[in-house]
Amino acid sequence: MKAIAAHPPEKRSARLIDAPAPRPGQGEALLKIRTVGFDGTDHDIDQGVYGSAPPGEEDLIIGHEAVGEVIEIGDDAQVSVGDVVVPTVRRPCPQRCPNCRKGLMDRCSTGDFREHGIKGLHGFAAELAVTDSQYLVKVPPDVEDVAVLLEPLSIAESAITETYLIQRRMEWEPSRALVMGAGPLGLLAAMVLRLRGVEVSAAATRQHDSLKADIVRQMGGRYINVKEEPLAVDGGYDIIVEATGSTRAAMSALPHLARNGVVCILGIYPKGEVCGELGDALTKLVLENQLMFGAVNSNLADFQKGIEDMRALKQRYDGMLSRLITSRHSPEGYREALEPGREAIKAVIDF
Ligand SMILES: [Zn+2]
């Protein structure tokens, strides 16, 4: 079968290979993959920054954002042949830590979890893939066309759910949010916040006539081109979601956090970068009871919330979700999908 595999930690190692077709074992499902989306993690694995092949193998099939159809099941599988599904990414650690035992692998406390397409398990950028059926999310027909966005949406859901959960530490009614970055994760986080009735400003470096700016306006948000406009707003932002991966961008947002506000950090930042304003930001954190936290990955509940919100978004903002998919490629076009350019939002591969 056709598969797109990397050879970590070799640089720019992704290529199209002929891989053996997997077979489902007990409790597993065999998926015929329809579409896979690539993100910064796939890009970083291709660049040799991280990623690890399954034990005893050299190649790692990449791709962790996928939608596929169940075509075969092992004994005791929890799905049926014909189901259209999106797989979650992370699998429990062998020690079964308390969080993994509860299905909260995104909060695994040992760090020995495995991740499809990233760490120790093959991904879904292949004609066929196998995974545990209990981690498959069924996709209703009305959102099948955008289901490849469910994995990144689940990350946004996890981040926003946790933001609200953490803020139960006090009486708190957020009215304004700032999302730094208008890539897929930033835009999806902005959409989830809009569904929660929050005013959203999204800041990025693209022009006002760009697709990204237009999508922000379509959801009723305010787009800020940081090259020309200030981030400041009266009263500050109750929530800041940092999704640029730039230390400088993250630091530039912190002075605009409202009293009692919360910052959710979602990027991966360059090593060893020094920022001069950290002392001011830390003092403000103390004096205004602010909080900053990081969130990675997502769990089954976040995917399920994502399905619900996909439906709400489709009803409220016609065609908006599909505008995030800016290019579709064949498996042979994997290189363009991994390096789609600065104006692109989400590149996908149809198998
Ligand atoms: Zn664990």
* pLDDT for position 270: 86
* pLDDT for position 62: 98
Name residues with Cβ closer than 5 Å to ligand 1, which is an ion.
93, 97, 100, 108, 110
Cβ–Cβ under 8 Å, residues 153 and 188: yes
CA-CA-CA-CA dihedral for 207, 213, 217, 223, to nearest 10: -70
Spans of the chain, pLDDT less than 70: none
Beta bridge partners of 6: 60
CA 299 / ligand 1 centre spacing (Å)? 13
* pLDDT for position 14: 98
Map residue 41 onto helix, strand or coil: helix
**What is the longest distance spanned by two Cα atoms in the chain?**
59
CA 189 / ligand 1 centre spacing (Å)? 26
- Cα separation, 93 vs 149, in Å, equals 26
- Cα separation, 336 vs 326, in Å, equals 12
* pLDDT for position 59: 97
* pLDDT for position 23: 96
CA-CA-CA-CA dihedral for 248, 249, 255, 258, to nearest 10: -150
* pLDDT for position 275: 76
CA 99 / ligand 1 centre spacing (Å)? 6
- Cα separation, 86 vs 68, in Å, equals 7
CA 169 / ligand 1 centre spacing (Å)? 26
CA 75 / ligand 1 centre spacing (Å)? 25
Distances (CA, A) of 101 to 94, 97, 108, 166, 208: 10, 6, 9, 22, 47
* pLDDT for position 87: 98
Distances (CA, A) of 343 to 186, 267, 285, 320: 14, 19, 34, 16
CA 168 / ligand 1 centre spacing (Å)? 26
**pLDDT tens by residue, 320-340:** 999 999 999 999 999 999 999
CA 228 / ligand 1 centre spacing (Å)? 45
What is the β-pairing status of strands 65-73 and 84-87?
antiparallel
Q: Which two tokens stand for residue 271?
A: 């090593």
CA 287 / ligand 1 centre spacing (Å)? 35
In the block, which residue shows the tokens 């979890």?
A: 113
The predicted model scores a pTM of: 0.96
